[in-house]
A and B are shown apart, each in its own frame.
Chain A
Amino acid sequence: MTVSNDVSLPDDYPEDHPLHGRLNLNRFIFCAGCLIGTAITAITSCLVERGLTPKDYAIVSGIGCTGRSSGCFKAPAFHATHGRAIPFASGLKLANPDLEVFVLSGDGDLFAIGGNHFIHACRRNIEINVLCNNNGIYGMTGGQCAPTTSIGDFTSTSPYGNIEPPFNLVSLAAAAGASYVARWPGYDVLRLKGSIMAAMDNPGFSFIEVLAPCFTQYGRKNNLGDAVKMLEWLRKQVVIEKNCPPHDAEYSHKNGRIVCGEFVNSPREGFTQKIKQLRETAQKKR
């Protein structure tokens, strides 16, 4: 992340812009060309298109480059601690089930330090929408290995090449019980937005993996070039498949094949609904 205080950013879009009043543009402190901003605007556009105002939703992020995304939303927005975005969002949703709750956080945040919370939130099918900005690395802290880093790749903590296999997030989410699972490249905003809408429709836990290369860390360490070159590198590997079972959704930079699409869309009753029913049972028994 390149934070420069010299560049003065506007606070907001002009008044006739559809996202006017929804974002703090001066908090977009990401490297120019980083797709974190795209995910932020995609979520915000969907909220606006749904006719939702900030009193209807809440945004939570953990710590990292993607962690800084929550500050960009003009909404009840929470910058939690590293790894804890999901339990924070769960607390919000459980105590106020009317809220549309989004988590936007990094792959390290959600799947290393916060991995346990992720699988349990999937299992509970709690009605929150989790977007993982997957750049395969710890962007903010200097480009260390993440649980999504491919075998053989170079990072600050794998100077001889990574020896650990990465998680396939789609397959992990599906196995843990997420009722909606999709993966898209961050540049494919239309499909990404379609999935965000579907996530809001799903009455349970929704997970969207957003592929968003980090040229500043990953690109530099693996000679993959600048922002544009890295997007081209990614585009060559992306294969969009329909009706692909989640466990066949290949995620392999090594094979040059990253299968994208919607892999799970099987709505079932969400956790806060179950809690409502539990209350009825408890109150009848009294």
Chain B
Amino acid sequence: MSSGSQEKSKQSKLILTTGNYACAEGAIAVGCRFFGGYPITPSSEIAHYMSRRLPQVDGTFVQFEDELASIVAVVGASYTGAKAMTATSGPGLSLMAETIGLGFILEAPMVIITVMRGGPSTGQPTKASQSDVMQTRYLSHGDYEMIVLAPASVQECYDFTIRAFNLAEKYRTPVIVATDGIVGQMMEPVRYHSNFDVINRKGPQVPPEDYQPFEIIDEDLVPGMATAGSDYNFYVTGLTHDVTGSPDMTPEGAIKLITRLCDKVRRGRPEINDWEENHLDDAETVILSYGINSRGTPEAVERARQKGYKVGSVRLKSLWPFPEELMEKLGKIGIKKLIVSEMNYGQVIREVERFRHLGFEVSGMLVPTTIPFSPGFIYENIIKEMQK
């Protein structure tokens, strides 16, 4: 890069960096001041960056003894009012399973970044994968909902991490940003802009003497959150509880709590779900992809269109809760076939198959590989599928 362009990028704040660093800087920008983590490839640079940056902004970085401690400390920190996060990859996320459920039932705003690598088990630590997208959804036991965002570029690492914190605060729930070994470690130009709103959690809506930690006053089903160190007394437990926070072991108690917690997120779907559309106006066949593996799709679609094939594409920017609205839209448009393209042996496709009744066929480009599909590979598959 010439010194002239360096000068220019400084002015426009366009810098060259990695997805992992961009996630970390996005977190700082939106107000994250607590990071607890445990090193794991290919996510470790997030911890490295946070260990340098957080002390500069009066924040706290701790490298814990394992992922269990890391995420539990994040829940604790969240209950002092701090915006808190951790970052990991598949094996570490597996260890966080139980606490994701704790964060959900305690309604603790928190962000988890998982940089997907090859699995199962130790798999291919230094490589990328999309084989943990079901893990991000169904990690913990029990009925629960997750919000999961899927960046496909370094810029989106920055933007989606900011959005993840905002959604976590708004819905009082854990939010996962699911990147991968390539998005996390590749370098791209990114703008660390401050062109975003910062959402902070709702506090108690009544005086301390009337406060009940899980009383619902608003239509959004989100209770006002008291924090340790304030004038509010409260007890929160991972046991099923009533509005006062007391354990409630009745069937009615379970129904009331679980439906509210899940509905809180389900009702938020129109706001949470986000996707990109390409040539849907005349498409008969549509490619659905997300994350790093979506990067080759537009070129393949253009090539096929030049040959006269009516192809379009959609890219999911959020994976969970699943964008049912998009499926309905594709059904209404009357597409004939939806091809799910993912770097795994078939995960999101299972969710998509639920929507066959909307009139489109579902097929997949499903390869448990560690490199994203090339435009040529996608193009050939489109042609094959359309000639069937």
C-alpha spacing A99/B68, complex, angstroms: 23
A91 within 8 A of partner (CB): yes
A54 within 8 A of partner (CB): yes
Tell me the residues in window 80-116 of chain A with beta carbons closer than 8 Å to chain B beta carbons.
80-81, 83-84, 86-96, 98-99, 116
Contact A117 B80 (CB under 8 A): no
A286 closest partner in B (C-beta): B56
A70 closest partner in B (C-beta): B235
What are the residues of chain B within 8 A of A89 when measuring CB–CB? 76
Nearest chain A CB to B256 CB, angstrom units: 19
What are the residues of chain B within 8 A of A92 when measuring CB–CB? 76-77, 79-80, 228
What are the residues of chain B within 8 A of A81 when measuring CB–CB? 72, 98-99, 102, 238
C-alpha spacing A275/B233, complex, angstroms: 28
Nearest chain B CB to A233 CB, angstrom units: 32
C-alpha spacing A99/B56, complex, angstroms: 23
Nearest chain A CB to B364 CB, angstrom units: 37
Nearest chain B CB to A141 CB, angstrom units: 15
A8 within 8 A of partner (CB): no
Tier of interface size on chain B: 35 or more
Given contacts A99-B228, A116-B66, A279-B55, contact A91 B34 (CB under 8 A): yes
What are the residues of chain B within 8 A of A75 when measuring CB–CB? 233, 235
What are the residues of chain B within 8 A of A191 when measuring CB–CB? none
User: What are the interface flags for A49-80 relative to B under an 8 Å C-beta threshold, 1 for contact and 0 otherwise?
Assistant: 00000111010100100000011011111111
B368 within 8 A of partner (CB): no
A27 within 8 A of partner (CB): yes
Contact A96 B55 (CB under 8 A): no
User: What are the interface flags for B66-103 relative to A under an 8 Å C-beta threshold, 1 for contact and 0 otherwise?
Assistant: 10111011111111111010000000000000110010
Contact B233 A95 (CB under 8 A): no
What are the residues of chain B within 8 A of A228 when measuring CB–CB? none
B200 within 8 A of partner (CB): no
A281 within 8 A of partner (CB): yes
Contact A91 B77 (CB under 8 A): yes
C-alpha spacing A83/B238, complex, angstroms: 13
Given contacts A70-B235, A87-B72, contact A76 B65 (CB under 8 A): no
Given contacts A71-B237, A81-B98, A283-B56, contact A95 B80 (CB under 8 A): yes
B83 closest partner in A (C-beta): A95
Contact B73 A58 (CB under 8 A): no
DSSP majority for the A interface?
A: helix
Q: Which of B58, B80, B228 has the most CB of A within 10 A?
A: B228
B197 within 8 A of partner (CB): no
A282 within 8 A of partner (CB): yes
C-alpha spacing A73/B236, complex, angstroms: 11
Contact B34 A76 (CB under 8 A): no
What are the residues of chain A within 8 A of B79 when measuring CB–CB? 76, 78, 91-92
B58 closest partner in A (C-beta): A279
A278 within 8 A of partner (CB): yes
A98 closest partner in B (C-beta): B229
C-alpha spacing A104/B141, complex, angstroms: 26
C-alpha spacing A92/B58, complex, angstroms: 16
Contact B76 A78 (CB under 8 A): yes
Tell me the residues in window 219-255 of chain B with beta carbons closer than 8 Å to chain A beta carbons.
226-239, 246-247
What are the residues of chain A within 8 A of B77 when measuring CB–CB? 91-92, 94-95
Of B56, B80, B233, the contact of A96 (CB 8 Å cutoff): B80
C-alpha spacing A117/B64, complex, angstroms: 9
C-alpha spacing A84/B67, complex, angstroms: 11
B198 within 8 A of partner (CB): no
Contact A91 B36 (CB under 8 A): yes
Contact A71 B247 (CB under 8 A): yes
Given contacts A80-B238, A117-B69, contact A96 B228 (CB under 8 A): yes
What are the residues of chain B within 8 A of A27 when measuring CB–CB? 246
C-alpha spacing A210/B330, complex, angstroms: 64
A193 within 8 A of partner (CB): no
B333 within 8 A of partner (CB): no
Contact A120 B64 (CB under 8 A): yes
Contact B238 A91 (CB under 8 A): no
B70 closest partner in A (C-beta): A87
What are the residues of chain A within 8 A of B60 when measuring CB–CB? 94-95, 275
Given contacts A88-B75, A91-B84, A92-B77, contact A58 B228 (CB under 8 A): yes
What are the residues of chain B within 8 A of A91 when measuring CB–CB? 34, 36, 72-80, 84
Tell me the residues in window 1-23 of chain A with beta carbons closer than 8 Å to chain B beta carbons.
none
What are the residues of chain B within 8 A of A275 when measuring CB–CB? 55, 60
B384 within 8 A of partner (CB): no
C-alpha spacing A76/B84, complex, angstroms: 19
Given contacts A55-B230, A84-B68, contact A79 B80 (CB under 8 A): no
C-alpha spacing A95/B234, complex, angstroms: 18
C-alpha spacing A77/B64, complex, angstroms: 23
B217 within 8 A of partner (CB): no
B52 closest partner in A (C-beta): A282
What are the residues of chain A within 8 A of B65 when measuring CB–CB? 116-117, 120
Lowest 10 A-B CB distances belong to which pairs?
A91-B76, A91-B73, A282-B55, A79-B237, A95-B77, A76-B228, A87-B69, A87-B72, A96-B80, A91-B77
Known: A55-B230, A120-B65. 13 other contacts (CB 8 A): A58-B228, A71-B235, A76-B226, A76-B228, A77-B234, A77-B235, A83-B68, A87-B64, A94-B60, A94-B76, A95-B80, A99-B80, A275-B55
List the interface of chain B (C-beta within 8 A of A): 33-34, 36, 52, 55-56, 58, 60, 62, 64-66, 68-70, 72-82, 84, 98-99, 102, 226-239, 246-247
